[in-house]
């Protein structure tokens, strides 16, 4: 039980998602990458990939803390890319994206994403984030509403009271030693700089230790159609997700079985041979296509 508890904590803090065995299922390598590159935005070089080649509104995927593109979205990205253009990126100081002196904050990362979309000549997109990435996605909808058609907000909270009671107590003691080795390996696979890995981890911890709540008035002002998704055993309280559903006028709520990120195939909570990622992708696609 203790191992499960710590695993859920680690998966939230570093928001690292990996791949359960789903059969049959394309791998990330089987999905053609149309374009990769780096965009100079707000003092950093942001790594991005463009998958798929469909016309229409693209889907932007925002990674959570401690993860690369491949880690949270390795199962669902190939599904989305069959039907639409997918823009995947890595946040400040994560994976292949460079860092700057400023701490990790949802607001500045949202401004970075906004600048990237302008760089790519994308006028409007659907924006999807998991865990810390969901906080960035929501800030996109608040700070740059003209760029967000639909918002997918997964496994995150807008206030401390929205998290399970033990979460922020645990965060007071979090350190680099507590980052699971598979998550370190995922970072080093795309960026062999061990100092950058530790820097990312410590700045992700600092972000949560100095968590900034999103005011209810800002949440209520969101006009983008929004899909809220959490697990029934998530770090997020179900009642908080319900509150968000009530506050955002044009929103829908889905509570799926499982722990934090299990519905996406999260590395520390995924079940072998689970079809949850493809079911989740289907529900998201249905929402995007409405």
Q: What angle do CA 79, 83, 85 make, to 5 degrees?
A: 95
Cα gap 137→150, rounded to integer Å: 10
Is residue 8 scored above 60 in pLDDT? Answer: no
User: Mean pLDDT across the chain, nearest whole number?
Assistant: 89
State how far the alpha carbon of 162 is from the alpha carbons of 6, 12, 135, 221, 230, in Å. 19, 14, 13, 19, 12
Give how many domains the chain has, as a whole number: 1
% of the chain with per-residue pLDDT over 90: 76
- How many CB atoms lie under 10 A from the CB of residue 46? 24
Please report, rounded to a whole number, the percentage of residues in the chain having pLDDT higher than 70: 88
Residue 62 has pLDDT above 70, yes or no: yes
Q: Residues 205-247: pLDDT tens digits?
A: 999 999 999 999 999 999 999 999 999 999 999 999 999 999 9
280: domain CATH number is 3.40.50.1820
- The pTM of this model reads 0.90
The predicted model gives 116-125 an average pLDDT of 98
More confident residue, 86 or 266: 86
Q: Identify the pLDDT of residue 31.
A: 52
Answer yes or no: is pLDDT of 43 > 70. yes
pLDDT band of residue 100 (cuts 50, 70, 90) is very high
pLDDT of residue 182: 79
Q: Name the residue range of residue 46's domain.
A: 2-289
pLDDT at res. 71: 82
Return the residue matching tokens 């997700």: 241
pLDDT of residue 261: 84
Grade residue 173 by pLDDT with cuts at 50, 70 and 90.
Answer: very high
**Token pair of 204 as six digits:** 């992700």
| pLDDT given at position 27 | 41
CA atoms in the 13 A half-sphere facing the CB of 20? 20
Rounded Cα gap, residues 283 and 266, in angstroms: 17
Confidence of residue 180 (pLDDT cuts 50, 70, 90): confident
3 has pLDDT over 90: no
């Amino acid at each position: 039980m203790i191992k499960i508890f710590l695993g859920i904590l680690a998966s939230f803090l570093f928001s690292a998602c990996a791949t359960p065995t789903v059969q049959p299922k394309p791998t990330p390598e089987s999905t053609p990458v149309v374009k990769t590159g780096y965009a100079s935005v707000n003092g950093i070089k942001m790594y991005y990939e463009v998958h798929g080649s469909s016309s229409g509104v693209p889907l932007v995927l925002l990674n959570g803390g401690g993860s690369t593109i491949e880690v949270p979205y390795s199962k669902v990205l190939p599904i989305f890319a069959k039907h639409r253009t997918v823009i995947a990126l890595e946040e400040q100081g994560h994976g292949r994206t460079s860092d700057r002196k400023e701490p990790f904050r949802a607001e500045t990362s949202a401004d970075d994403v906004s600048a990237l979309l302008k760089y790519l000549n994308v006028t409007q997109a659907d924006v999807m984030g998991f865990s810390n990435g969901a906080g960035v996605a929501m800030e996109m909808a608040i700070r740059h509403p003209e760029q967000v058609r639909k918002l997918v907000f997964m496994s995150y909270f807008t206030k401390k009271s929205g998290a399970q009671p033990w979460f922020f107590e645990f965060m007071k003691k979090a350190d680099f030693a507590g980052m699971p080795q598979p998550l370190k390996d995922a970072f080093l696979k795309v960026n062999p700089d061990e100092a950058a890995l530790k820097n990312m981890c410590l700045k992700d911890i600092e972000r949560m230790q100095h968590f900034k709540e999103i005011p209810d008035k800002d949440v209520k002002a969101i006009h983008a159609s929004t899909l809220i998704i959490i697990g029934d055993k998530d770090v997020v309280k179900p009642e908080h997700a319900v509150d968000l559903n009530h506050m955002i006028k044009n929103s829908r709520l889905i509570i799926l079985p499982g722990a934090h990120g299990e519905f996406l195939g999260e590395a520390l909570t995924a079940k072998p041979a689970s079809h949850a990622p493809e079911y989740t992708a289907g529900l998201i696609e249905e929402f995007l296509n409405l």
